[in-house]
């Protein structure tokens, strides 16, 4: 019988998108999710997914999910820098202890490889651009600390136990399935929702801060490449992005073009934990797993706006 691909946090935005891509390849797919931030509606269209409802901090639930698993795509986490500033204990429990449980149960269950959703927030607010994986890290929030700790765990488990691991440092992933309703919603769904509802988008800072926005199709492709590469993996860290630097003011301009009218943003104070500028070098991802972005930010934004517009019926 074919081995199973397990997606932790598989009901989330990124996790469910990975599930969809794996199913399209004919793989057996299982999800573990406690639905604290993931949405059941993300899994409803996916036929054939085996769902284990439970938390990654529960070893028994994780052991149940790990049965016959070959590759784990570890996406489960309490996301958001802002959320971690509000509740650091919850972020550390899920993101550090949960990752420890996932790795420990994986190595005991004979899992071959764990692909970890790391974060560009590990770099912090260093002025050097682009961000290269060999740079010193300087996390500025509990969330960033938790994700960086996960990277160390991946390396240690690879070194001690021989389980294959790889860390994908995501840069500002966006796409149609992102939840715009959460108070911690990411900037793109926030801006698009404001445009569709005729409201003023809220910008934390002057809008000249820059990000390397990465459309969901690129992130999913990176995960599948990391899961299937014949290269031996032992805790390597690689950036997953487009290598494009876009300011929030430029983002507002693009969304205004999609909406057919310029947006009038409301500027406010910078948030604690936010970084000023972000841009990735993706050379290491090219070399290790053959990654190349397939949808650049402007096209991804067009697709995302169209999906939100259809959802809003406008």
Secondary structure element (H or E) that encloses residue 103, with its range? helix 98-108
Residue pair 103/118 in contact by the 8 Å Cβ criterion: no
Angle, helices 216-228 vs 297-312, to 10°: value is: 120
Closest to 20 in 3D by CA, of 182, 177, 166, 228: 177
For residue 313, what pLDDT is reported?
67
Cβ neighbours of residue 124 under 8 Å, at least 6 residues apart?
A: 137, 138, 139, 140, 144, 275
For residue 1, what pLDDT is reported?
64
The residue-averaged pLDDT of 280-308 equals 97
The residue-averaged pLDDT of 9-36 equals 97
Q: Write out pLDDT tens, residues 135-188.
A: 999 999 999 999 999 999 999 999 999 999 999 999 999 999 898 776 556 899
- Domain ranges in the chain are 4-171+215-243+280-294, 187-210+244-278+300-312
Q: Write out pLDDT tens, residues 94-126.
A: 999 999 999 999 999 999 999 999 999 999 988
d(CA 236, CA 168): 8
For residue 185, what pLDDT is reported?
65
Closest to 109 in 3D by CA, of 150, 55, 161, 31: 161
Q: Using the predicted structure, report yes or no on whether residue 268 has a pLDDT greater than 90.
A: yes
Answer whether 4-171+215-243+280-294 and 187-210+244-278+300-312 agree in fold. Answer: no
Position 311 confidence tier, pLDDT thresholds 50, 70, 90: confident
Q: Is 133 strand, coil or helix?
A: coil
Position 314 confidence tier, pLDDT thresholds 50, 70, 90: low
The topology under which CATH files domain 4-171+215-243+280-294 is Rossmann fold (3.40.50)
The residue-averaged pLDDT of 29-57 equals 96
Q: Phi and psi (nearest 5°) for 187?
A: -65, -40
User: If you search the block for the tokens 């931030």, which residue do you land on?
Assistant: 37
The residue-averaged pLDDT of 202-222 equals 96
DSSP state of 4: E
For all residues of the chain together, what is the average pLDDT? 95
Superfamily of domain 187-210+244-278+300-312: UDP-galactose 4-epimerase, domain 1 (3.90.25.10)
């Amino acid at each position: 019988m074919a081995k199973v691909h397990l997606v932790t946090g598989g009901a989330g935005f990124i996790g469910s998108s990975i599930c969809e891509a794996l199913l399209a390849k004919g793989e057996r797919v299982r999800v573990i999710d406690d639905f604290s931030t993931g949405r059941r509606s993300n899994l409803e269209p996916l036929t054939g997914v085996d769902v284990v409802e439970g938390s990654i901090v529960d070893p028994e639930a994780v052991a149940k999910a790990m049965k016959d698993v070959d590759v784990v795509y570890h996406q489960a986490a309490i996301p958001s820098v802002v959320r971690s500033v509000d509740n650091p204990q919850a972020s550390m429990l899920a993101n550090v202890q949960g990752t420890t449980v996932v790795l420990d149960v994986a190595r005991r269950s004979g899992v071959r490889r764990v692909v970890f959703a790391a974060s560009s927030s590990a770099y912090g607010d260093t002025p050097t651009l682009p961000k290269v994986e060999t740079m010193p890290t300087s996390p500025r929030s509990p969330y960033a600390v938790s994700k960086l700790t996960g990277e160390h765990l991946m390396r240690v488990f690879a070194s001690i136990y021989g389980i294959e691991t790889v860390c994908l440092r995501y840069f500002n992933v966006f796409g149609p399935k992102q939840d715009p309703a959460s108070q911690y919603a990411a900037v793109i769904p926030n801006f698009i929702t404001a445009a569709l509802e005729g409201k003023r988008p809220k910008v934390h800072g002057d809008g000249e801060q820059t990000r390397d926005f990465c459309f969901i199709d690129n992130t999913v492709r990176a995960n599948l490449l990391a899961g299937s590469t014949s290269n031996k993996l032992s805790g390597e860290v690689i950036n997953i992005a487009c290598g494009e630097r876009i300011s929030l003011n430029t983002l507002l301009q693009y969304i205004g073009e999609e909406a057919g009218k310029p947006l009038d943003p409301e500027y406010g104070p910078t948030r604690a934990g936010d970084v000023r500028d972000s841009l990735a070098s993706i050379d290491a991802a090219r070399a290790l797993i053959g990654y190349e972005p397939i949808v650049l930010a402007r096209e991804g934004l067009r697709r995302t706006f169209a999906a939100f517009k259809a959802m809003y019926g406008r």
